[in-house]
Structure 1
Amino acid sequence: MSAVGDQRLWCPLGSSVHPMVEAIEADSIGWLAGHSVMSAERLTRFRAGAPGALGSYTYPRGTRAGTQLASDFITWLFAFDDLYCDGNRLGSDPVGFSAVIGDLIQVLEAPRSVSSGEFPIMRALRDLHERVAAMGSAVQRQRWVADTERYLLAKLWEAGRRQARSLPPLNSYTHMRRLGGANVACLMLTDVSLGREVPAEIMCARPMTELLQAAADLADLDNDLLSYARESGPEEEFPINGVTAAVLHGAPDLAAATRAVVEFRNARMRTLLELSEYFAEPAESAAADFSRGVCDWVSGHIGWIVKSGRYSRLPA
């Protein structure tokens, strides 16, 4: 059981950190700086939240190059969120935001078509695309591209929900949050980081799909629980958060809404544990390795939150 503030997150999974965590974190921040995605001043503030370390917590078994690739992608996601989503007016402007989303999807769909007006976040995404293509198979690249595009389109959905100041009930919210959290896209780099490809007939079958969904939901809902206090502050806009969804749809107060989200995420943890057992044998198979990597993502995400202190406690 891990605790942040008043929140205790049930997680019976073991966890570890990549032995090269410090070098990987430094290289991810250096990679972002090399693409001039942020000003030096903003990058200093950005680095204080330890985004470059998350990859080492969530891909602890990966090769040095594989975990670096995943870490750089996670760092890009944090930077994109900071620059264009949560902390920027575009995050509440679906019309303006759609132009940015369209440009980024074009990078993924047609990476060789470079425009003269390209901005740094696009160049960094193109670099990631090239590296995924070089390190993984064509199938692995396409999996990552498809889920990264879903992430981008879900961010546009979030912008619409912010503008409307409304969210669907928790079950429906969780489906869209799963896409907008980018965790499935990140999990598509798990076998790339390990250097072992899971066969398509296993990856596309229902047990693996449900395992991935449970892992993504856990990371998203843990984030929601631990970030609600910050996101609901007077200086923030309408929070895209599971607690918000529960408040808007029947929870009598904040405490009841929080309990509803905790109960939901604990049910997802039980699903994850059950399905990870399903893939445990044979222990040396690519599917077993991948399943362990998926569990690493969940426990590593919690471990990183505790270490980074990125989120404040929920209000009483």
Structure 2
Amino acid sequence: MLQMVADFYLWLFAFDDAYCDEGALSNDPGGLCLETSRILRAAEVPMCTGSNRYADALANISRRLDSTATGVQHARWREALRSYFHFQSWEAEYRRRRETPPLEEYVVARLQSGAVKVCFTLLDIADGYELPADEFETPLMRALIETACAVIDWDNDIASYTKEAQRGHDTINLRDIFVQEYELDGDGALSEALRMRDHVLARFLQLSAVYTGTSEYTRRYIRSLGHWIRGNLDWQNSTKRYGTTHPIVGQRTLPVTGPLRIESIAWWWDDALTR
């Protein structure tokens, strides 16, 4: 099971490098949409192969999921994968325009475009259980998943900035958005990005602490979200993929204050989530 998960992670990196950041379709939203629709079909119906090697590899992973995951779990993975592909075309459109997306729009798109949500659908599968649907669909669990995704995706924005700036031409990155909207220099934008991720990490920890559900499976899932945040941070601070010049070092005391002034994610701080 762990081998299948590792193979899918490797597939994501290969697909990202070939299509999303630097590939021929990286600034062609229509062409990328056509290509990802063909690849997605291999995940939905793994007997339908032959589009290309990425489709064939994804079909292989989908077949392996068929034999290890429940129907509900497999459906969650496919749905998250569909959203991931959709937002690759969103990014390609901004590359085509040579524009920087606004912060309000970016934080929502990044929840999907970073593929972290897709990876999260494999957590319970890899651990040998199924997260109950009635707890998976609660607002609290949705907030936990989204805050964890945001922290991981923003950490990736910070860690991968040097690599992507050297090899690409887009400004679809949290630091570049702060430069544009807040008129900050590079160091100021980095500080603001770190401040924002710490703010959301504090909320994730706060929400994790108030969970009162009865399902041990859900408690295991929430712990896995935290492990993913920590493991991703350790990996990207040491991997040669990014050559990180600004390792992310967390604060000893995180701020637990009101919501960020971003309307689309303000609900993460809704008092009803902690009652």
Q: TM-score range by the shorter chain?
A: 0.7 to 0.9
Counterpart contact for 1:279–1:287, Cα < 8 Å: no
Q: Which moved more, 1:260-269 or 1:146-155?
A: 260-269
Which runs of structure 2 are paired with 1:155-234 in the superposition (5 Å)? 155-233=88-166
- Find out whether 1:288 has 2:226 as its counterpart: no
Contact 1:69/1:128 (<8 A) preserved: yes
Q: Provide runs of 4+ in structure 1 moved above 3 Å.
A: 279-282
Q: Does 1:271 align with 2:203?
A: yes
Q: 1:124 to 1:270 in 2, by over 3 A?
A: same
Distance in 1 separating the partners of 2:70 and 2:83: 20
Contact 1:280/1:291 (<8 A) preserved: no
Answer yes or no: is the 8 Å Cα contact 2:4–2:64 preserved in 1: yes
- Distance in structure 2 (CA, Å) of the matches to 1:132 and 1:185: 13
- Structure 1 contact 107–126 (Cα < 8 Å) conserved: yes
What stretches of structure 2 of length at least 5 have no aligned partner? 247-275
- 1:109 deviates by 3.0
- Whether the aligned pair in 1 keeps the contact of 2:151 and 2:201 (CA below 8 Å) is yes
> Match for 2:9 among 74, 81, 92?
74
- Whole-Å separation in 2 of the counterparts to 1:98 and 1:200: 30
> CA offsets per residue over residues 216-258 of structure 1, 9 Å max, x none?
111110010111122222x422132111111221233222222
Other structure's SS at 2:171 match: coil
> Whole-Å Cα distance in 1 between the matches of residues 77 and 52 of structure 2?
22
Per-residue deviation, 1:144: 0.6
Q: Residue 279 of structure 1 contacts residue 291 of structure 1 at CA under 8 Å; is this kept in 2? A: no
Match of 1:42 in 2: none
Aligned-residue offset at 1:173 = 0.6
Find out whether 1:236 has 2:168 as its counterpart: yes
Q: CA RMSD in A?
A: 1.7
Amino acid at match of 1:132: L
Distance 1:281 1:303, change over 3 A: farther
Quote the residue 1:260 is aligned against. 192
Query: For the residues of structure 1 that align with 2:17 and 2:113, how far apart are their CA atoms?
Result: 14
User: Match for 2:224: what amino acid?
Assistant: G
CA contact (8 A) 2:100 2:171 kept: no
Partner residue in 1 for 2:256: none
User: Which secondary structure state, in structure 1, belongs to the residue aligned with residue 26 of structure 2?
Assistant: helix
Do residues 87 (structure 1) and 22 (structure 2) align?
yes
Tell whether the 8 Å contact from 2:148 to 2:229 is kept in structure 1 after alignment: yes
Over residues 254-273 of structure 1, what are the superposed CA-to-partner deviations in whole Å (9 max), with x where a residue is unaligned?
Answer: 22222221121111101211
Equivalent in the alignment of 1:306: 237
Residues 94 and 101 of structure 2 are in contact (CA less than 8 Å); yes or no, is this contact kept in structure 1?
no
Q: Deviations over 1:97-140 (max 9, x none)?
A: 2221110122233333345xx21100110111111222111111
Retained in 1: the 8 A contact 2:117–2:149? Answer: yes
1:150 to 65, 83, 101: 83
Residues 263-287 of structure 1, C-alpha deviations (whole Å, 9 max, x = no match): 21111101211122233776x7000
The aligned amino acid for 2:218 is A
Q: Alpha-carbon deviation of 1:194? A: 0.7
Aligned 8 A contact 1:215 1:272 in 2: yes
2:74 matched residue in structure 1: 141
For these two proteins, the number of residue pairs brought into alignment is: 245
**TM (normalized to structure 2)?**
0.84
Secondary structure of 1:122's counterpart equals: helix
Name the CA shift for 1:93/1:101 in 2 (closer, same or farther; >3 Å).
same
Which piece of structure 1 moves more, 103-112 or 141-150?
103-112
Q: Distance in 2 between matches of 1:231 and 1:225?
A: 10
Q: Does 1:107 align with 2:42?
A: yes
User: Using a 3 Å threshold, how does the CA distance of structure 1 residues 70 and 278 change in structure 2: closer, same or farther?
Assistant: farther
For 1:217 and 1:120, how far apart are their aligned partners in 2?
Answer: 30
> CA separation of 1:278/1:136 partners in 2, compared to 1, >3 Å: closer, same or farther?
farther
Which amino acid counterpart does residue 137 of structure 2 have in structure 1?
A: C
